[in-house]
Amino acid sequence: MDEFEATIVGELDRWQRAGKIAQFWLRDDDAVEPTAALGRLLDISGAFSVPLTLAVIPAHTGEALADRLRREALCAVAVHGWSHTNHAGPDEKKQELGRHRPAEEVLAELQRGFDQLAALYCEQFVPMLIPPWNRIDAPLVPHLAGLGYRALSVYGPEKPAALPPINTHVDVMDWHGTRGGRDPQALAGEIAARLTFMFDHGGTMGLLTHHLVHDEAVWGFLNALFKVTADHPACQWTPVADILR
């Protein structure tokens, strides 16, 4: 057993001894159309029966992606904002769902995106909002339930909100450095740390990927992670719809 496997399996073995099962879930952002990268993600996750939640950008997608995903029984679709357009100023962090436009305009787009993806994906659709860049202006959140949304997913520890949070906690990408895959051992350490927190406090372990920008380091990491977790009795890769329920 190498260091990567030992880090994750060691923590899962502790869960097993305690008779507990850790829920993992996989979220991938920025889906628009069928691509070779998306196909590779579906192949890898499917090979290990890992359910996948795709954050789809409504303004830029259509029947082509819906047709591709209909044969993917383990794939769910959530709303990734409207057009993934940055409305923040040049000195601000990027944000589509912020205070930079009237709330009515932002909410109208989120309603349109919800309705469009619900119609395209039917049973694969989950009523969850995944804000672009993982940012949404807090005053908008109480209005989301009235649009049909039942959950909100951003990045980082969950915080009390007007809509149930189902967050991701480990991001495979080195956005501020190489913009490629992060060090696998560092990722294993973050997963183990999240599991340690969950052991005492509950919650899920959300993994965040971005198929369009993956390098070979990311694909290798995903294959290794799924290999050591998918059959472990204390790990359950869970459809997001089940977490939402």
Radius of gyration of the chain (CA): 18
Structural domain contains residue 4: no
Q: Whole-angstrom Cα distance, residue 120 to residue 174?
A: 33
Structural domain contains residue 243: no
Domain count, the chain: 1
Report the CATH number that the domain containing residue 134 is assigned in CATH.
3.20.20.370
Quickly list DSSP for 1-69: --HHHHHHHHHHHHHHHTT--EEEEEEEEEE-S--HHHHHHHHHHHHTT--EEEEE-GGG--HHHHHHH
User: Which ranges in 48-183 belong to alpha helices (H)?
Assistant: 63-69, 103-121, 144-147
pLDDT tens for each residue of 78-115: 999 999 999 999 989 999 999 999 999 999 999 999 99
Structural domain contains residue 124: yes
pLDDT for 1 equals 63
Do residues 7 and 193 make contact, with C-beta atoms less than 8 angstroms apart? no
pLDDT tens for each residue of 139-173: 999 999 999 999 999 999 999 989 999 999 999 99
pTM metric for this prediction: 0.97
* Exposure on the CB side of residue 18, measured as CA atoms within 13 A: 14
pLDDT for 82 equals 98
Residue 96: domain span = 23-230
Return the percentage of the chain with pLDDT > 90, whole number: 97
